[in-house]
């Protein structure tokens, strides 16, 4: 009887142990599968393109990061120290610039064309020569027009003499009105003929349209010339230079005639001070922009047409701005911006304090702080990536 009871107890224990073992194995399998799913979930979700699941995973990760940051902030890090550089925040004038590229140009850069076809009998200039407006640059053979002018002037002088005599007689009530009117008409006709021939003869004289420099001469004396793509010569005036460019439509109202502009020439490594002299009234529908012209002084005659220029146009000014170097502004997992300030400073040491800030515009490697910092606050500007809140700072 006892033997049967012993066998029954042994069997029950065996069955129970087997169940416990199976449950343990099942638990291990579940945990193992869970771990595998956890490590592979992100990749699988990306491949599945399940937006809802991806957003859920993102929220979980952000929550985990927030928990880690909170835990770190509660740790005793005050014993740690860091060597940093700091600076005192001061109110200053902050300028924001629109950076665009343009091209140097001048309206006084033209190819001179002959107005009269013929042989070039005189060429009075050479490349590099300075000329003044109206100066005779060359003369084209008039093909007998000067003789026609002499004959026309003779006819005019005769007609004028006849008119003067008829007028004297008519004033004395001698002769007929028809004779007087005929003499007057003949004189006027002869006068117009002289003027027309003079105008035609003037076209044989090539004059400088403006003061400038002869950049190139394409013809030689004795050559038969006519209007062509090449022309006779190029004349350039470098004293009236400007930059032309296009500005996005969103800047309408921000740019006005007289606005100061910094014009940087890469080829010269030099910056010129210019001013907006013209603002376009037409929006290009293709790129939603409008044109502007910026006058640029050229006292050293270093500017040349078609040089590439970089423009910095002030489009925003804050005369009492709080600014910090752009690189000191950090961002946490929630997307909030912050900087590290110095708390309890004694001039050489202090404690790091994380301050949430609202930023404005950025320009020239500095960022405008709209809220969070005040005048004379001390911020860490070097070593921000090696510190955390509550850490002792040496500077």
Q: What is the pLDDT of residues 233-280, one digit of tens each?
A: 999 998 889 999 999 998 888 888 988 899 999 899 999 999 999 999
Q: Is 63 left (phi over 0), alpha (psi -120 to 50) or beta?
A: alpha
- Residue 68, pLDDT > 80, answer no
Instruction: Give the model's pLDDT for residue 93.
Output: 92
Instruction: Please name the residue ranges forming H helices in 172-224.
Output: 177-202
At residue 324, φ and ψ (nearest 5 deg) are -135, 160
Question: Tokens at residue 338, please?
Answer: 């912050």
Contacts (Cβ under 8 Å, ≥6 apart) of 363:
94, 95, 96, 97
Arithmetic mean of pLDDT, 177-206 = 93
Are 369 and 357 in contact by the 8 Å Cβ rule? The answer is: yes
Q: Give the Cα separation of 273 and 311 in Å (integer).
A: 10
Arithmetic mean of pLDDT, 64-88 = 72
Instruction: Give the model's pLDDT for residue 147.
Output: 93
Question: Tokens at residue 281, please?
Answer: 């009234």
Range(s) within the chain of domains with CATH label 2.40.30.170:
100-107+236-316
Cβ count near 144 (within 10 Å): 8
Q: Give the Cα separation of 297 and 303 in Å (integer).
A: 9
- Residue 56, pLDDT > 90, answer no
Q: How confident is the model at residue 286 (pLDDT cuts 50, 70, 90)?
A: very high
Q: Give the Cα separation of 307 and 244 in Å (integer).
A: 11
Arithmetic mean of pLDDT, 213-217 = 94
The alpha carbon torsion through 275, 277, 281, 282 (nearest 10 deg) reads -70
Q: Give the distance from CA 325 to its chain's centroid.
A: 23
Q: Give the Cα separation of 106 and 212 in Å (integer).
A: 12
Given CATH 3.30.460.10, say whether it is the number of domain 100-107+236-316.
no
- Residue 373, pLDDT > 50, answer yes
CATH number of this structure's domain 113-233, picked from the four choices 2.60.40.10, 3.40.50.300, 2.40.50.100, 3.40.630.30: 2.40.50.100
Range(s) within the chain of domains with CATH label 2.40.420.20:
78-94+319-394
Angle, in degrees to the nearest 10, between helices 2-48 and 51-74: 100
Give the range among 70-79, 277-286, 304-313 with minimum mean pLDDT: 70-79
Instruction: Give the model's pLDDT for residue 269.
Output: 92
Cβ count near 336 (within 10 Å): 11
Q: Give the Cα separation of 268 and 270 in Å (integer).
A: 5
Give the range among 37-46, 145-154, 276-285 with minimum mean pLDDT: 37-46
For 3, how many CA atoms within 13 A lie in the half-sphere containing its CB? 0
- Residue 320, pLDDT > 70, answer yes
Instruction: Give the model's pLDDT for residue 8.
Output: 42
At the topology level of CATH, where does 78-94+319-394 sit? 2.40.420
Cβ count near 292 (within 10 Å): 25
């Amino acid at each position: 009887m006892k033997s049967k009871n012993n066998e029954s107890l042994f069997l029950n224990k065996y069955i129970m142990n087997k169940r416990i073992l199976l449950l343990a194995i099942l638990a291990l399998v579940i945990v193992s599968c869970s771990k595998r799913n956890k490590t592979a979930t992100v990749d699988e979700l990306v491949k599945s393109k399940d937006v809802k699941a991806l957003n859920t995973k993102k929220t979980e990760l952000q929550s985990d990061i927030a928990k880690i940051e909170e835990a770190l902030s509660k740790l005793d890090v005050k014993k740690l120290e860091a060597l940093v550089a700091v600076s005192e925040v001061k109110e200053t004038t902050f300028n924001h610039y629109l950076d665009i590229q343009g091209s140097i140009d001048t309206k006084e850069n033209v190819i001179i064309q002959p107005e009269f076809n013929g042989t070039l009998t005189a060429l009075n200039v050479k490349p590099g020569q300075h000329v003044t407006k109206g100066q005779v640059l060359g003369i084209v053979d008039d093909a007998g027009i000067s003789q026609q002018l002499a004959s026309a002037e003779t006819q005019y002088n005769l007609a004028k003499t006849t008119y003067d005599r008829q007028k004297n007689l008519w004033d004395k009530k001698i002769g007929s009105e028809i004779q007087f009117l005929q003499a007057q008409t003949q004189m006027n006709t002869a006068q117009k003929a002289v003027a027309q021939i003079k105008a035609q003869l003037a076209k044989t004289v090539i004059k400088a349209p403006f003061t400038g420099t002869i950049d190139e001469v394409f013809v030689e004396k004795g050559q038969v010339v006519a209007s062509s793509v090449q022309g006779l010569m190029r004349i350039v005036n470098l004293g009236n230079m400007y930059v032309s460019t296009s500005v996005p439509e969103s800047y309408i109202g921000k740019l006005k005639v007289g606005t100061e502009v910094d014009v940087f020439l890469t080829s010269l490594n030099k910056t010129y001070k210019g001013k907006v002299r013209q603002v376009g009234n037409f929006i290009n529908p293709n790129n939603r922009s409008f044109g502007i012209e910026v006058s640029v002084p050229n006292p050293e005659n270093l500017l040349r047409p078609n040089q590439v220029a970089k423009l910095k146009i002030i489009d925003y000014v804050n005369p009492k701005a709080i600014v910090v170097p752009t690189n000191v502004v950090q961002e946490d997992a929630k997307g909030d911006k912050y900087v590290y300030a110095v708390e309890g400073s004694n001039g050489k040491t202090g404690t790091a304090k994380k301050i949430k800030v609202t930023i404005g515009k950025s320009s020239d490697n500095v960022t405008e702080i709209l809220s969070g910092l005040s005048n004379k606050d001390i911020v860490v500007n070097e070593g921000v990536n090696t510190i955390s809140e509550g850490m002792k700072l040496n500077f």
